[in-house]
Homo-oligomer: A and B are copies of this chain.
Amino acid sequence: MRYSNCFVPTLRDVPADAEVISHQLLLRAGYIRRVTSGVYDYLPLALRVLRRIEAIIREEMEKAGAQELLMPMVQPAELWEKSDRMAKYGPELLRFKDRHDHESCLGPTHEEVICDLMSRELRSYKQLPINLYQIQNKFRDEIRPRFGLMRGREFVMKDAYSFHADDESLMAEYRNMFDTYTRIFDRLGLRFRPVEADTGSIGGNDSHEFHVLADSGEDVIAHCDGCDYAANVEKAVSVRSVPAGTPAALAELHTPGVTSAEDVAAFVGIEPALLIKTLVYRVCGGEQDGAIVAACVRGDDQLQEVKLIHALAADAVELASDAEIEAIGGVTGFVGPVGLQQAELWMDIGLQGAIGMVAGANRRDLHVTGLDVARDVAQARFIDLRETRAGDRCSHCDGSIALSRGIEVGQVFALGRRYTEPMEVQFQNQQGKREIATMGCYGIGVSRLMAAVVEQCHDEGGIAWPDVLAPFTVILVSMGQSDGVMEASGDIYQQLKRAGVDVLWDERKERPGVKFKDAELIGIPLQVVMGDRGLAEGVAEFGRRGGDRREIAVADVVAETLAELASGGRTAV
């Protein structure tokens, strides 16, 4: 394509409100423009990249035996009532009424629609297993859309849904999809890591997320340096050594105005690990909706709320108000596990059997010392509640846990019968009996992937696309506008096109400096430069973006380009 015919509105300055580098570069390089909060136009260069990502995903999904279909964006609310998610999904599910007053919503995901389809079309075990996928725009009404394509409201997603006669078949497909995702992200040239994940609002049993490693990632993932254990910190477990407390009788200690874990530890003169930190929450959603619960971790730990939410089978938890704390017999700032009434008490497993601990006394300006959890806290339920920290010991080997930031670009779920049961996805088994199918679902954030690639692949000059994703593989830069240069350039352009190379010919009447800046910024991997000087000698300059260029014979441009692409040389990362 000729540059003059390509709509690429590059910007010289960094846009004011773009915080992360992918957002800045995609705006500056003329890939995207904001329409409204979390909603973007994909300009021609961006669409070309999206299409390349989609093509790789399609190829691997088809190889894996999945079939593509297309479901609608607008969904009837009754399907969400049937799956019991209409109330549960929260305000991210954008709801509206159509002109006939039918409650509808914009699809943030399609479990309901596909189950509705399968409940009508599935008849026999002979139709199973089946895996159906689509690539389609989704809408999630995020409370705070940010970081450009990283957390948008309308976004492109690949979502796949598989149905099975039994869980063995489901787990085989789960592994098949896990491997397929690994192949997809490998082909995209990304540094990524699959991690164990919480199942969140989708539900089900097993789940893995695929994270692209990047400092700007919103997720924290824990991984072991000794084995291949890796998990989202929302779910990660680890072990650590804690100091042993000294056996003692339960006693009260006057601690006027001393409330934070650090202050209490300093005031008492103990390590924070010997303190019990108690948090009181209001449960949102689920069977205990509205209930007040207490949860304890050691003073130097952080409570990982997702683990508590999971244990409560709730949609969310919110910190309780002072009045709610009082209602269960607590006092804000001095809450402790001893003496709380009418509230479920959850304790981190690391507190099981702890002795000589210090905790709030549930009375103003008082703590208790010598607390023996087994002796003094009868009603506690022990689960893993603490957030894994860097330096913890792996629970699978002797290795040490490290934390990294990641951008979640894919997730696979072994849903089981979470949706197929309420939505009546049934089939006749070999014995002629009706059975409920079991189900998996598998998502990839296609537009987010584009941003994630930029987070990993950029330098000071702009975006450094991997060859397989670049909107054009080669940029041909004409230096000056002399007839000779334009003619020689036009000739190279035609040759590259005939060879099937996606080439962008910068034939604009612009200074060379402007052209090179734009070429770097938009991130085309290979550069061919034709100027008056080379013209005389029959040579062009050839090289990778961000590297040195060398002179090659004009006659060799096509061959050199193809060789360079075949070598798969990656751009600087």
Chain A residues engaging chain B, CB cutoff 8 angstroms: 5-7, 9, 33, 35-37, 39-44, 46-47, 50, 65, 67-76, 91-92, 94-96, 98-100, 102, 104, 106, 113, 116-117, 120-121, 130, 132, 136-137, 139, 141, 143, 153-154
Contacts and interface: CB of A to CB of B under 8 A. Distances in A.
Contacts of A91: 99
B73 A44 contact: no
A130 B5 CA distance: 8
A74 to B, nearest CB: 5
Nearest to A4: B126
Contacts of A117: 33, 35, 41
Contacts of A102: 36-37
A303 B69 CA distance: 45
A43 B65 contact: no
Contacts of A94: 96, 98-99
Contact of A47 (B33, B69, B72, B137): B69
Given A37-B100, A47-B69, A99-B143, 15 more contacts: A7-B132, A33-B117, A35-B113, A39-B76, A41-B69, A41-B70, A42-B69, A44-B68, A44-B132, A46-B70, A50-B70, A94-B96, A95-B96, A96-B96, A98-B141
Main SS class of interface, A: mixed
B5 A71 contact: no
Contacts of A9: 121
A71 B137 contact: no
Which 7 residue pairs are nearest across A and B when measured between Cβ atoms?
A: A96-B96, A36-B76, A42-B70, A91-B99, A9-B121, A39-B72, A44-B67
A43 B72 contact: no
**Count of chain copies:** 2
Contacts of A65: 5
Contacts of A116: 35
A137 B107 CA distance: 13
A154 B41 contact: no
A33 B5 CA distance: 41
20 contacts: A5-B67, A7-B121, A33-B117, A35-B76, A35-B113, A36-B74, A36-B102, A39-B75, A41-B69, A41-B113, A42-B70, A44-B68, A47-B68, A50-B70, A72-B137, A73-B139, A74-B153, A92-B99, A94-B99, A98-B141
A203 to B, nearest CB: 22
A130 B6 CA distance: 9
A74 B132 contact: no
B154 A74 contact: yes
Given A5-B65, A7-B67, A73 B120 contact: no
A92 B47 CA distance: 29
A74 B139 contact: yes
Contacts of A44: 67-69, 132
Contact of A121 (B5, B33, B36): B33
Contacts of A121: 7, 9, 33
Contacts of A69: 7, 41-44, 46-47
Nearest to A35: B72
A282 to B, nearest CB: 21
Nearest to A104: B36
Contacts of A6: 67
A99 B141 contact: yes
Contacts of A72: 35, 39-41, 137, 154
Contacts of A154: 72-74
